[in-house]
Amino acid sequence: MDFVNQNILITGAAEGLGLAISKSFANTKANLFLIDINYDKLIENNISNANNIKCDLSNIKSVKNLITTFSAEKVHFDVLIHNAAVLVPKSFEETSVEYWNEMTNISLNSGYLLSNYTWTNMKKNKKGVIIFVSSRSGIEGFENESAYCASKHGLEGLMKSLALEGADKGIQVFTVTPGMYMKTPMSEQNYEDEYKKKWVDPIELAPAFLKLASGNYRNLSGSHVNAWEISKGEKK
């Protein structure tokens, strides 16, 4: 796939699915902008053609400062893949305002801010792709995940609205759920043993993101897409 000279922004890129996606795009000669709070891990990964950026997405001021830097340096993006997420299960009674804001800032509010920044240039170029990484928590509810589920449900609604607004502007918008249990640092902490027996390496799901980013899946814009099915060619 031809991503030569395209600017690809990926959040949560230091490990897990974000790292797998970054590795896949590294072979396309795209210009990668990789965001994570763990800057040392980004450097350690040594992804080619990568601009490694430290940013705490739970802190909205930090996100706004990053966007101001992008704007000042006239850096714009052809593809946004918002993958960053943190899940620390808490009962509703244990969910403080601070914890609620942290969860929603990382997933939903940062997704909004970064999409808002990329939108203008995508509209100008009459093309662009925005991908929000979702999960079952974006379409179902789970105990001890009120903040996480709310933020993922919010991304689903944001995706649907942006897809409608972007349809006549050449902008495609998707949410992507893995479709399989993945082995990531977050899932190692939260999955029960029965699910760990079924999990796959995130690199097996990464092809879906290249395919969607290519712009060749316009018919699926506005949809909640299964990464496993797209990666394996089961859905076109």
pLDDT digits (tens, 9 = 90+) for 118-157: 999 999 999 999 999 998 788 878 889 999 999 999 999 9
Domain ranges of the chain: 7-231
- The pLDDT of residue 198: 55
- The pLDDT of residue 188: 53
**CA-based radius of gyration for the chain:** 17
- The pLDDT of residue 113: 98
Structure tokens at 96: 């403080």
- 179: pLDDT confidence band, cut at 50, 70 and 90? low
Render pLDDT for 146-171 as a digit per residue (tens, 0 to 9): 999 999 999 999 999 999 999 999 99
DSSP class of residue 140?
A: S
Choice among 35-44, 175-184, 197-206 with the minimum mean pLDDT: 175-184
**Neighbouring C-beta atoms of residue 193, cutoff 10 Å:** 6
Is residue 78 a contact partner of residue 31, using CB atoms and an 8 Å limit?
Answer: no
Per-residue burial over 213-228, b = 16 or more CB atoms within 10 Å of its CB, e = otherwise: bebebeebbbbbbbbb
The predicted model scores a pTM of 0.92
CATH assignment, 7-231: 3.40.50.720
